[in-house]
Each structure stands twice: as structure tokens, then as C-alpha cells.
Amino acid sequence: MNRSHRPLPFLLLAASVLAAGCAPSPPPPRQPEGTIINLEEGPQAHDQPVTEAPAVAPPTADQSLYLVHVRNAAGQVIEGCRVMLLSEKPEPLYLREPRKKTRILYLYTPNYGRVEFMVQADGKPKYLLVGGDGFKPSVRELKPAIGGQTQEIEVVTEILPIAHLIIEDHLGNRVDRPMVTMRPPADAPNPYHIEGLAPNEGMTEIGDDLGEVKLTRPVGRYLILASKGTAQKGACRHYEILDWDGRPDPIVIRLPEKSEPKPDWFD
């Protein structure tokens, strides 16, 4: 089935689920006191900081401070970008959701586009992972955490559209934790591809218990596979071709009672 984007029904599916998609969610974000941020509205870019960034106390002899400024290529400050400080560099498959044991802290950039991480000065290098809904994940190595030292890091990233899918079963009930794969055709470029992964890896997400799935993707044509998820062994698979224009309107996808045969175009 081939449809262009319409506000409600129209796409979906999922095939194999990646370990990254199955990784448990990190703990609740810790935001600085007085931070103003509304994640429900999605990431936003501002020409100037909406509120003034608070002063940060200098690190003590046994602390190390990382100040991270996030902007786009036009110089606008970015609100709603998830910034993680890690103890190890994540493998490509875990760039979206790194292993819990490697996570030190994570924050979402407020409306002044800066986050701060005050950590123990252990002399070990740290890694900065920038991503979250609306961003292609990227990682960089930071200098070791040295006592009394402040490091300022400038990050340039761009906000991407977020596809909001709602998966229903054949009776119209929402599917608990559905699986959705959303990838470009094999002969098309994949701007969201993560270096180090196979072409089709990193393209699958697990939804929540309300059947909702959010996928960060550039505007374009996508092959969709949606199913009932790992708990039901990917039952009731459905395939579609989606010409997505990047609008945030929820897209409702209804699964069949029984799995559809895989079409030739979904290779």
C-alpha cells in the first residue's frame, strides 16, 4: 500500500527489533533549578536565549565541570536536546539508548541552550552523547575529568522532524508496546544512518503501552513495518510505503488480524 501523509491513518510496521530499541529508558532527567523546558512541544530553536542561563559555581578540587552549549548551524540555541555524559563510548547500536551502566548523567537543554555536568574528578575521559527525539545521535570524546577544571563544549546539531505513530489492532484497540520499522528504500539515501551499522539497523523502535511510537526522520519516502512487538513475537505484521512530509500530526496505523506476507519491495 502506498499513501501520502494525511493527519490520521496511514502508515506503519515493524520487523526485527534492535537491542538499542529495547534498551531500558534512562532515569528521570535532572534539570537545574529554575530551568524552563517543555518537552511536550518538542525541540525548538531560538534566535536568543529565552531566559538567562544561571551562574554555575566553579568546581572544587575534587570536582570537574563540563559546560555544554547546543546550537544549530545558524547559531540559534537549541531547546529540548538530550545531552548525556557517559563513562564509555557507546557502540553504534547503542547510540540512541546507551547501556545504563555507562550513563553518568543526562539533561535536556533548556531554553537558553546550555547544560552543565558537575562530576567527580576521577581523571578519566568522558563521552558526550547528543540526541533524543528530533536529533540524529552523535558522540564525542571529552578530556579527562580533572579536579578544579571547567571544560566548555560547543555542539552544533540540527532539529529533525518527528513522526508520531499510533498503532491499533484490527479491532481498533491500541497495541501495547508495538514495534515499528521506518526506513528509506534500499536505493535511496539514508540521512539518519549511523556510521558503523548495517543499512537497515537502527531503524526500528518500540512504542509505549498506549501504542504510540515516535521516530526521528528527515522528510522523505519510507518503508513501514508495524507489528504487535516482542511480547507477541511480532504478530500481525503490516507493511506500507509512506511519503512523509514531516508534519507532527498523529498517524494511525491499523494492524491486520493476521500477518501480511512480506511484499517484494520490502527487502
State residue 39's pLDDT score. Answer: 56
Q: Is the confidence at residue 236, as pLDDT, over 80?
A: yes
**Residue whose entry in the numeric block shows the C-alpha cell 537491542:** 19
The residues pairing with 44 across neighbouring beta strands, listed in sequence order, are 79
Phi (first) and psi of residue 157, to 5 degrees:
-145, 165
- pLDDT value, residue 2: 55
44 to 37, 58, 75, 135, 157: CA distances (angstroms): 10, 29, 13, 11, 12
> Does 208 or 35 have the greater pLDDT score?
208
108: pLDDT strictly greater than 80: yes
Q: Which residues of 179-198 are buried (b: 16+ CB within 10 A; e: fewer)?
A: bbbbbbeeeeebebbbeebe
Q: Report the pLDDT value the prediction gives residue 8, as an integer from 0 to 100.
A: 40
Count of beta carbons in the 10 Å neighbourhood of residue 110: 23
Can you give the pLDDT at residue 93? 81
Domains and CATH numbers, the chain: 2-20+161-254 (2.60.40.1120), 44-50+57-156 (2.60.40.10)
Which is more confidently placed, 94 or 160? 160
**pLDDT for position 232:** 81
Burial of 205 (0-12, 13-18, 19+ CB in 10 A): buried
Report which of 225, 216, 230 is spatially closest to residue 176, judged by C-alpha positions.
Answer: 230
- Other residues' Cβ atoms within 10 Å of the Cβ of residue 152: 11
User: What pLDDT shows up at residue 107?
Assistant: 96
Phi, psi of 100 (to 5 degrees): -60, -35
pTM of the shown model: 0.78
pLDDT of 59 reads: 97
At residue 179 the predicted structure's pLDDT band, cuts being 50, 70 and 90, is very high
pLDDT of residue 186: 86
* CA 136/CA 256 separation, integer angstroms: 32
Q: Which residue has the higher pLDDT, 109 or 233?
A: 109
How many alpha carbons lie under 13 Å from residue 124 in its C-beta half-sphere?
Answer: 11
Residue 17, pLDDT > 50, answer: no
User: 17 or 245, which is more confident?
Assistant: 245
CA distance 26 to 46: 27
- Higher-pLDDT residue of 39, 70: 70
User: Taking phi first (over 0 means left), then psi (-120 to 50 degrees means alpha), and beta for anything else, what does residue 41 get?
Assistant: alpha
Query: Is it the case that residue 254 has pLDDT exceeding 50?
Result: yes
**Per-residue pLDDT for 10 more than 50?**
no
**Could you tell me what percent of the chain has a pLDDT over 90?**
71
User: Which of 34-43, 87-96, 102-111: highest mean pLDDT?
Assistant: 102-111
20-65 confidence digits (pLDDT tens): 444 444 443 444 433 445 556 789 999 999 999 999 999 999 999 9
The grid coordinates of residue 3 equal 499513501
